[in-house]
Structure 1
Amino acid sequence: MARTTPHHHAQTTGEQPLYWRIATRLLGELRDGTVPPGERLPAERRLAERYGVSRETVRQALEVLRHEGLVATDRRGSHATLSGRRVERPTSLAFPLGIRRDAEPHTADRATVTWETPPPEHAEALSLAPHLPTLMHRYVSAAADGRGLRRAVTSFSAVALAEVEELARYRDRADGTAAAQLRRAYDWMRRSGLTLHHRDAITPLPDAPSVRVTRLVHDQYHRPLEYTDLVVDAQQDALVYEFTLPAAV
């Protein structure tokens, strides 16, 4: 007897099982570029919450798309394989605070992550218990001659690591040696359903042509997500910041 696929069943009987309707909705997002080609899809739990169905229904919907070759799954999760145009989104904040958005000649950038106890100021801002380790990100950027130095140290809260799967995955490789570019951290947060509220405080440093910028990010429930301490050699640089970003829908 020939194997009957969900796709064949839905087409020949005229029925539309719930998982098929979810597959159709997700397919629309793949085709219009809402989920760009090669982009990892949200976790099954996130998709279930988005569509108001069970994780089993989402799993069945993904199986339909895998059967059609529109989604591929590996140890990192499922990702879109369908070609499509990328939907233009409003300009979002790049992570970390102070990162150079555009490539500049003769500029060296270095970013790493560690799992360690954050400074007391970070722990207090993020409501972390004393001596409790968390994911920390360090960014250093300077011109070849040492000018324009930028140093940013970021700590993430327990809430951020619980809500944002992409961040949580860095824990196992947070040894401080491998390069770790988290430029899309704010996009990951938004895709997890978080609305981001940034509060930046800028303070000139005494007796130095530098400024310190501290950023505290909360979500729509006033839960702290991230605290960053940035020091910038401000002789020639201008600092420009944007603020609130809504959650992705």
Structure 2
Amino acid sequence: MARTTTPHEDQPLYWRIATQLLDELRDGTVPPGERLPGERKLAEHFGVSRETVRQALQVLRRDGLVATDRRGSHAALATTPVEAPSTLAFPVGADTAGPGAADRATVTWETPPPEHAEALGLAPHRPTLVHRYESGRRTALTSFSTVALAEVEELARYRGRADGNASAQLRRAYDWMRKAGLTLHHRDSITPLADTPSVRVTRHVHDQYARPLEITDLVLDARQEALVYEFTLPADGSTAAPRNRTGPDPR
């Protein structure tokens, strides 16, 4: 499978799905040893038939990357344990408990909004990886910088399949950035939208060198929902940085 990390048009569909699934396994979306979703859910996730998923799984089994027993199929990659997840939710406003049935997340390779391009230092009309998230009345639009795509391998892999159709849950985006050696600094601002009950939450994230990594705009209905921030402050004398988790009000 090492020679197929970049999908090509002349490859069979099941082979491209096998490559995409392998990328997600390497990302840690499904940790080693944990059971994969069933064929039906995988088919919905990738937008293909169950037969195509079945063929893709067979490719991974043949290469020893997936194992199947009475309990189902499991990731069998020899990787180091996944670090404890970040307390910072991606995107801002996402449900930290995991994707719900109504959640939808996709990625495209396109020119970001002008204000995003300016914040990320992108030249006008230069495309980048753009992530869209929808959950109920919440919508979030994220644009990533060239720095993020150059230094975070897991994000860069999405360029080849950023067609706006397949599901692209990037819940571990901040963990991937930290794994790449980036220290994350974020600034969140909340702005009421004129003549509407909605508010916009804008998050700017940069690294320890003040290089922009991503910008997200979240819009939510302030009448129906609340945005809850939780901070953990270190004990006196501790060098640990404050942690923040952003998520929907559990009520």
Matched residue SS, 2:109: strand
Is 1:230 aligned with 2:225? Answer: no
Contact 1:198/1:216, CA 8 A, preserved across alignment: yes
Is 1:216 aligned with 2:204? Answer: yes
Spell out the pairing of 1:17-96 with structure 2 (5 A cutoff): 37=32, 79-80=77-78, 89=84, 91-96=86-91
Is 1:119 aligned with 2:113? Answer: yes
Question: What is residue 94 of structure 2 aligned with on the other side?
Answer: 99
- Once residues 219 and 176 of structure 1 are traced to their aligned partners in structure 2, the CA distance between those partners, rounded to angstroms, is 27
Choose the corresponding residue for 2:145, options 157, 161, 164: 157
Query: Which amino acid is the alignment partner of residue 241 of structure 1?
Result: Y
- Once residues 182 and 125 of structure 2 are traced to their aligned partners in structure 1, the CA distance between those partners, rounded to angstroms, is 27
Contact 2:85/2:172, CA 8 A, preserved across alignment: no
Give the Å deviation of 1:102: 2.8
Alpha-carbon displacement from aligned partner over 1:115-170 (angstroms, at most 9, x marks no partner)? 0000100000000011100000000111xxxxxx0010000000000000000000
Aligned residues: 166
Question: What is residue 170 of structure 2 aligned with on the other side?
Answer: 182
Query: Which amino acid is the alignment partner of residue 171 of structure 2?
Result: R
Contact 1:197/1:245, CA 8 A, preserved across alignment: no
Contact 2:205/2:212, CA 8 A, preserved across alignment: yes
- Once residues 99 and 169 of structure 2 are traced to their aligned partners in structure 1, the CA distance between those partners, rounded to angstroms, is 17
Question: What is residue 25 of structure 1 aligned with on the other side?
Answer: none
Question: What is residue 185 of structure 2 aligned with on the other side?
Answer: 197
Which 4+ runs in 1 deviate beyond 6 A?
243-246
TM-score normalised by L of structure 2: 0.59
Choose the corresponding residue for 2:133, options 132, 135, 139: 139
Distance 1:120 1:167, change over 3 A: same
Distance 1:168 1:245, change over 3 A: farther
Matched residue SS, 2:150: helix
Contact 1:38/1:80, CA 8 A, preserved across alignment: no
Give the Å deviation of 1:37: 3.6
Contact 1:115/1:134, CA 8 A, preserved across alignment: yes
Q: Which residues of structure 1 form unaligned runs of 5+?
A: 1-35, 40-71, 143-148
**Alignment RMSD:** 2.9
Contact 1:112/1:139, CA 8 A, preserved across alignment: yes
- Once residues 171 and 104 of structure 1 are traced to their aligned partners in structure 2, the CA distance between those partners, rounded to angstroms, is 22
Matched residue SS, 1:124: helix
Query: Which amino acid is the alignment partner of residue 173 of structure 2?
Result: A
- Aligned sequence identity (%): 72
- Once residues 90 and 133 of structure 1 are traced to their aligned partners in structure 2, the CA distance between those partners, rounded to angstroms, is 29
Q: Which has the larger radius of gyration?
A: 1
Contact 2:91/2:171, CA 8 A, preserved across alignment: yes
Distance 1:104 1:96, change over 3 A: closer
Distance 1:90 1:180, change over 3 A: closer
